[in-house]
Amino acid sequence: MTRKVHLVGIGGAGLSAIAHVLHDRGEQVTGSDRGLSAYTRALEAADVQVFLGHDEKHVLGADLVIASSAIPDNNVELVAARQMGVPVLKRQAFLTELTAKHETLAVAGTHGKTTTSGLIAWILQCAGYDPSFIVGGLLGDFGANGKAGSGRYFVVEADEYDRAFLGLHPHIAVITNLEHDHPDCYPTLADLEAAFDKFIAQVKSSLVVCLTDPGAASLSREGLMRITYGLDREADWHAEELRPNAAGGMDFLVLYRDELQGLVRTRLPGLHNVENALGAMAVADEVGITFRVIQEALTTYHGAGQRFEIMGESKGVTVIDDYAHHPTEIRATLSTARLRFPDARIWAVFQPHTYSRIEAFMAAYLKAFSDADFVIVTEVFGAREVFDGSISGEILSEQIDHPEVRFIADLKDIAISLSELVKPGDVVVTLSAGDANQVGKQLLELLSSGMKGVGDDEEWTRNI
């Protein structure tokens, strides 16, 4: 008997992926969110009903309601569901049920989860394993961020936010890296490390850790097989002779315990993505997939949305969108842009994400933009947080250590200004976990239509 499952906050990466899996399994799925997104468009294309806005009528007839971590307990739909006696679960509690009949391959870490889990899912698919998966970005090769497969394996991007990953009991777990993030949830690094220790305590067989990252490298547990990967020659899986390739990705030789496995060519740019690929290889090898199949899958993988995603090119200007919003991610993304476009002028459009994160990592943000030629900072995307006056995008922009930085609050104004300033050969990179990818879309439209901005940037124009 199928259930009617309603997801509150379905427009986010986490719940939209779960919705795909439930729909594929034959459940009757609906959802609601205050805004629509690429995730909701993909769900609607799969015939999942998505409501814009929240209303108690949306939960009528539901057998189960699942709520995003971003949804407050006083949400009208959650209140109505409880009054009607309908079970209401957060993501952590539901993940246990969702993965119960599978061997879970989980990818945790502060950065790199989406790419690494997407790579694992694609390798399994290419090997004929037909995996289930839920990841934090739309995978171009699947057209979705979640799927219910017929195989034994379930690949899960194990999100540490709100301790959601503690709902998992993985067969194999990957830790890509470990550094402080989500200060609203984990006030200190020690709080975050304690959550990861609990997560590792639930792993059943193998722990795969990135040896290059000190936080991940410090993790182990008695009774677990520990496999290491990274650019460090001491890692079990490591890479040598790294170089960019004509596809915009990286070529590198792979060694396992100093034994050459072969050449890998990927479409994913940057040194961090070499490490992500090595982590995925380690998992694939652990479940018995041959290196030749792994090699071919890595070559054909097209990446995930908002992970150094080429949005388009117009009038010689390339626009890239990336999910980077933590200082470490920003540095990695801009370093990748500089590696791929060594002679280009790089424009970084940064949308700060949550006030607590900006306050906690202010010092690191100030040093994160050295690989950009020009930096534009938007107003803070508050997400679940309320502005208290202590920090803003303008305050941040005034302190960033960069000779060419300015604050422009409105996204449309940024696109208009850029249309006046960019030249053929320039690269614009939007860095956002919010809605600043609109800047890239609007800029491409302005350039392709021949329209330009109002030309009020004389001082900056003189400098360039």
Helix (H) or strand (E) holding 405: strand 405-407
| Residue 198 annotated as catalytic | no
DSSP string across 69-92: TTS-TT-HHHHHHHHTT--EEEHH
| Residue 113 annotated as catalytic | yes
Instruction: Please state whether 257 falls in left (phi above 0), alpha (psi between -120 and 50) or beta.
Output: left
CA distance 269 to 335: 10
Contact indicator for 332, 437 with CB cutoff of 8 Å: no
Is 72 exposed, middle or buried, given 0-12, 13-18 or 19+ CB atoms closer than 10 A?
exposed
Phi, psi of 174 (to 5 degrees): -110, 135
Q: Which residues is 30 bridged to in the sheet?
A: 6, 49
CA distance 303 to 326: 20
The number of beta carbons lying within 10 Å of the beta carbon of residue 365 is: 22
| Cβ partners under 8 Å of residue 459, min gap 6 | none
Crossing angle of helices 113-126 and 291-300, rounded to 10°: 120
Torsion of CA 279, 285, 287, 289, to 10 degrees: 120
The number of beta carbons lying within 10 Å of the beta carbon of residue 130 is: 14
Of 40, 114, 115, 266, which is the active-site residue?
Answer: 114
| Residue 452 annotated as catalytic | no
Torsion of CA 245, 249, 250, 256, to 10 degrees: -140
Among 102, 105, 160, 144, which residue's Cα sits nearest to residue 281?
105
Of 77, 157, 275, 329, which is the active-site residue?
Answer: 157
| Cβ partners under 8 Å of residue 440, min gap 6 | 311, 312, 319, 320, 321, 349, 428, 430
Of 40, 77, 99, 113, which is the active-site residue?
Answer: 113
Residue type, 72: P
Is 53 exposed, middle or buried, given 0-12, 13-18 or 19+ CB atoms closer than 10 A?
exposed
Handedness of CA 362, 112, 209, 21 (dihedral sign): positive
Would you please indicate which residues are annotated as catalytic (active-site) residues? Answer: 113-114, 157
